[in-house]
Amino acid sequence: MTEKPHIFDLDLPELIDILTSWGEQGYRARQIWQGLYQKLWEGPEAFTNLSKGLRGRLAEAFEFSHLKPITDLKSSDGETQKILFHLPDGLPIETVRMRYQKRRTLCISTQSGCAMGCTFCATGQMGFLRNLSSGEIVEQVIYFARRLKERGERVTNIVIMGMGEPFHNYDATMQAIRRLNHPEGMNLGARRFTISTVGLIPQIRQLAAEDLQVNLAISLHAADDELRAKTMPVNRKYPITELMEAVREYARTTKRRVTFEWALINQVNDTPEQAAKLADLLGGMLAHVNLIPLNPTRGYEGQASTHERAIRFQEILQDRGVPCTIRLRRGIDIQAGCGQLASQ
């Protein structure tokens, strides 16, 4: 890997400290910060508001990119784009941009691969390669923000549910969110971020204590331990009863609605019995369920639920007072849907 530090790994106070150690005024650091996060400049040569000498020193001191785009795929409807990047050590990550009527949403990665081993997820089938640095998480957003700016558009929402388990890389994930949320930088509102976890209980409790109003999504996919453990090994360490206790505590502490993600697998977890169990788990809680017909992956033989079974599952939840949406699958033809991100 490169020996020079990645400039997107720095927060503003760190950048100020470095610039002042060079004998520069602190406001120069703010100019650089604004150039990176607001003007979206790509390298030192773009910082024409700085002296030539300072631009040269920035080039010598820092790397301005860790992401090398390898493959750029667009869905047949043009609404979804997926880019495979290589990191400086050659490891892969994938990032997805989804265009909606009023939103431009990015699905970003926090790890290359994933250690959680969920059987129906292509990233889980890869295994774990390494954590990303906070700057490598941030730079995925910057990369797409530059492309969107060229079309007069901007990033509106970020879902941290690409490759990897964000709470397995908690510190870097939270540092990245704070940097993107910074009022002197990109200034993306905290409520525009959604973090998805398979259910790492200590980090759910840690997030509840943060002073950030980000959204939490729980990848649940089964309402009893026996079924969940068959596809999600994490359930053996953090069973559903303990998980739900932590999630309810989070909801009480933050007063924020929690989203539960449920990949509908035909004849597996799409039964009326599972729907009733799920309704029991969520009773009286500020919650919303996203039903997502299973996206195909090479390493899992299960099939997506039929439309009829999905509708029946939804009706049972709604009849029990649980808000529920069947999500439109996006980018399936380019393997950009939930659970499909991998290194191919």
Residue 120 above 60 pLDDT?
Answer: yes
Map residue 273 onto helix, strand or coil: helix
pLDDT at 297: 74
- pLDDT of 275 reads 97
Per-residue model confidence (pLDDT) at position 338 = 56
The answer, yes or no, to whether residue 207 has pLDDT greater than 80, is: yes
165 versus 327: the higher-pLDDT residue is 165
Tell me the C-alpha distance between 155 and 1, whole Å.
29
**Which whole number is the average pLDDT over 183-200?**
96
Average of pLDDT values for 49-69?
97
pLDDT of amino acid 344: 52
- What residues are annotated to the active site? 94, 338
Cα-trace Rg, the chain: 21
Tell me what percent of the residues of the chain surpass a pLDDT of 70.
95
Q: Which two tokens stand for residue 182?
A: 């910074």
CB-based contacts of 278, cutoff 8 Å, min separation 6: 220, 223, 260, 262, 289, 317, 322
How many percent of the chain have pLDDT more than 90? 83
- Confidence tier at 1 by pLDDT (50, 70, 90): very low
Residue 330 pLDDT class (50, 70, 90 cuts): low
End-to-end CA distance of the chain: 22
> pLDDT tens, 283-316?
999 999 999 988 777 777 788 899 999 999 999 9
| pLDDT, position 124 | 81
Average pLDDT over residues 130-155: 97
Instruction: Indicate whether 336 pLDDT > 80.
Output: no
pTM of the model: 0.93
Domains of the chain: 7-61 (1.10.150.530), 68-334 (3.20.20.70)
